[in-house]
Chains A and B, each alone.
Chain A
Amino acid sequence: MRNEAEHQLNEAAYDQLSDELERRYPLKQFVAFGHGQVIGDSADFDELIGIVEKQGRDPREVMVVRIGDERPKHATIFSPLWRIGS
């Protein structure tokens, strides 16, 4: 189960730092946030998860972003099935 407070802290930090991160890291680099700060980075996702675990953190409570990925805040599902629930 996700730690919502931790997630909000990390997402706010990413919003604030995203432009700087785009300048600092190469495209496709994975960057991890914990407690609202960058706590590690790697070009390899599994290596980054290992770094996070060595810090004694649960990766499921650490927010990982990939530099250069699109960041849509909203998306619409157009499939007719979803009109039932929308």
Chain B
Amino acid sequence: MSELRQPYRGLPFRPILSLTFRTRDGVRHSLSLLADTGCPQDLILAPKWFDALVLADAEGIENNFGPMNAGWFRLHMPEIGLVELVNGFGSLEVGEAIATELPGVAGLVGLPILRLGEYGGNATDFWFRSSPSTPTGSP
């Protein structure tokens, strides 16, 4: 079992995860993302990163921030056993809300990705553990 562990950021504290994505031409980008178990969407990115990483268009969705572009993304972290095709969304509003409080954070990662492994926290850190025995994918 491999673990990603990072100290909380911001005031109030927010849990952060660094996840790596691979573009169609094989370039890997690591992004700091706000971990949000209250988000039912896999991934929501600021438009800059959505445009840089999206592999193909997908069916859109609307949430309490309004309509969002959707696309397919490759989560690519073989070093911890996490290689998954995920649905992601692009939102200027979400990107700006996060950047205001947490500069350098590119978006948020929601429950569908967090539940690909195990996650938790203590007084100082948030962590994510990938587990080969954990069923992957959306229900």
Contacts and interface: CB of A to CB of B under 8 A. Distances in A.
A11 B68 CA distance: 13
A16 interface: no
Contacts of A77: 36, 38-41, 63-65, 110
Interface in B34-82: 34, 36-41, 51, 54-65, 69, 71-72
Given A77-B36, A78-B38, A85-B93, A49 B57 contact: no
B104 to A, nearest CB: 16
Contacts, number: 98
Contact of A72 (B38, B61, B85): B61
Q: Which of A60, A75, A77, A84 has the most B CB atoms < 10 Å from its CB?
A: A77
B9 to A, nearest CB: 13
Interface residues of A, number: 35
A85 B55 CA distance: 28
A52 B14 CA distance: 40
B94 A85 contact: yes
Interface in A46-86: 49, 52, 59-65, 69-82, 84-86
A23 interface: no
